[in-house]
């Protein structure tokens, strides 16, 4: 009997020791310091590999135990997170990461036709960040001189830093681009082919914001390139600091850059600005036509022509419309001035 009790006692002590060891190991694990990583970051998916990769990219060392902790209760979902690991301890940080999604978010819109300078300037102002740092991070990720971030709406954490903000914009933009490619592009594209596509899209974007006209403008670009004609499009001169300037005959004459398609054949050397999915779609699927020219018309849209003779006729119509409009405005301005002088004279007479 004593032997049996002794055996049970030893077994009990053994279990206690195991529990104590597990407790001490858990306690020791909890107090292992966490790297001083970024407090705000974006997790792109609920895939454990993506979560671990994100944490490591943001300065956190993730052990195999940490990985188990991440999946023990609930796997963190896709989204923005704002964490404070120094107040939690290692055990709590990884176990409860899924609860630390932030609601301090803001929507920003990248507009079609914006340059990286304009995008980063607005981000710096709206998010109280340093534009110089935003530009630096932009350039480390960019494939082209311009246009790497698609024109669309993005949701950002309000207190994300410069690096995190730019990385997210590129991540979200590339995700949209990948979805676009899966639908509209059947064969893999190398960097040069993609650059050509974005360059054409950026010219379309500069020439018109009309979704209906974009495929026709695209057809004019491809038709002229096929015939080895100069594009001769004002939009190609809206590059860099000239992004939103009016193109004048003097500018066309004096600009010696490769962006001047009145002087140089082929496409400009780089995309001009950010582009919309609609412009990108038009650059991939131009409308079939024989058009070689397009010109503004009195209705504010574009008229398209197959021959230079037709094009000249449309130019004459538009210039006549412009002249009539200017004369009408001049008459209206003179009438306004006359009314103002007459009113002042009446006031003086009344006094």
**In the predicted model, is pLDDT for residue 345 greater than 50?**
no
Instruction: Tell me the pLDDT of the chain averaged across its residues.
Output: 85
pTM of the prediction?
0.81
pLDDT of residue 29: 52
341 — pLDDT class (breaks 50, 70, 90)? low
User: Over the stretch 212-224, which tens digit does the pLDDT of each residue have?
Assistant: 999 999 999 999 9
Percent of the chain residues past pLDDT 70, beyond the cut: 84
What whole-number distance in Å separates Cα of residue 253 and Cα of residue 317?
A: 25
Radius of gyration of the chain (CA): 32
33 — pLDDT class (breaks 50, 70, 90)? low
- Please indicate whether residue 334 or residue 22 has the higher confidence score (pLDDT): 334
320 — pLDDT class (breaks 50, 70, 90)? confident
**In the predicted model, is pLDDT for residue 293 greater than 70?**
yes
Q: What phi-psi label fits residue 59: left (phi over 0), alpha (psi between -120 and 50 degrees) or beta?
A: left
Q: How far is CA 8 from the centre of its chain?
A: 69
User: Over the stretch 87-142, which tens digit does the pLDDT of each residue have?
Assistant: 777 778 888 889 999 999 999 999 999 999 999 999 999 999 999 999 999 999 99
pLDDT of residue 22: 42
Are the C-beta atoms of residues 129 and 147 closer than 8 Å to each other?
Answer: no
Are the C-beta atoms of residues 166 and 108 closer than 8 Å to each other?
Answer: no
């Amino acid at each position: 009997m004593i032997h049996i009790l002794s055996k049970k006692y030893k077994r009990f002590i053994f279990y206690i020791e195991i529990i104590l060891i597990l407790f001490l190991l858990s306690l020791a694990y909890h107090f292992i310091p966490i790297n001083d990583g970024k407090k705000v970051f974006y997790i792109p998916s609920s895939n454990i590999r993506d979560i671990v990769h994100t944490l490591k990219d943001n300065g956190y060392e993730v052990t195999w135990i940490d990985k188990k902790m991440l999946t023990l209760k609930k796997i963190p979902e896709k989204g923005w997170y704002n964490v404070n690991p120094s107040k939690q301890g290692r055990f709590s940080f990884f176990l409860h990461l899924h609860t630390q999604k932030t609601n301090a978010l803001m929507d920003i819109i990248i507009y079609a036709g914006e340059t990286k300078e304009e995008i980063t300037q607005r981000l710096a102002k709206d998010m109280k960040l340093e534009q110089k740092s935003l530009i630096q991070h932009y350039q480390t990720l960019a494939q082209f001189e311009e246009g790497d971030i698609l024109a669309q709406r993005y949701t950002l954490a309000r207190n994300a830093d410069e690096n995190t903000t730019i990385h997210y914009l590129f991540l979200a933009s590339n995700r949209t681009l990948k979805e676009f490619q899966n639908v509209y592009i059947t064969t893999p594209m190398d960097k040069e082919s993609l650059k050509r596509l974005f360059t054409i899209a950026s010219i379309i974007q500069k020439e018109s914001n009309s979704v209906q006209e974009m495929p026709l403008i695209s057809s004019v670009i491809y038709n002229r390139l096929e015939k080895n004609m100069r594009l001769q499009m004002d939009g190609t001169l809206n590059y860099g600091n000239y992004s939103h300037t009016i193109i004048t005959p003097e500018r066309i004459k004096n600009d010696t850059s490769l962006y001047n398609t009145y002087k140089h054949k082929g496409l400009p050397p780089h995309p001009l600005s950010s582009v919309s999915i609609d412009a990108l779609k038009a650059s991939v699927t131009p409308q079939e036509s024989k058009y070689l020219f397009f010109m503004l018309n009195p209705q504010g849209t574009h008229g398209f022509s197959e021959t230079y003779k037709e094009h000249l006729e449309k130019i004459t119509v538009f210039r006549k419309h412009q002249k009539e409009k200017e004369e009408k405005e001049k008459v209206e301005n003179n009438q306004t001035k006359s009314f103002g002088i007459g009113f002042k004279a009446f006031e003086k007479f009344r006094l």
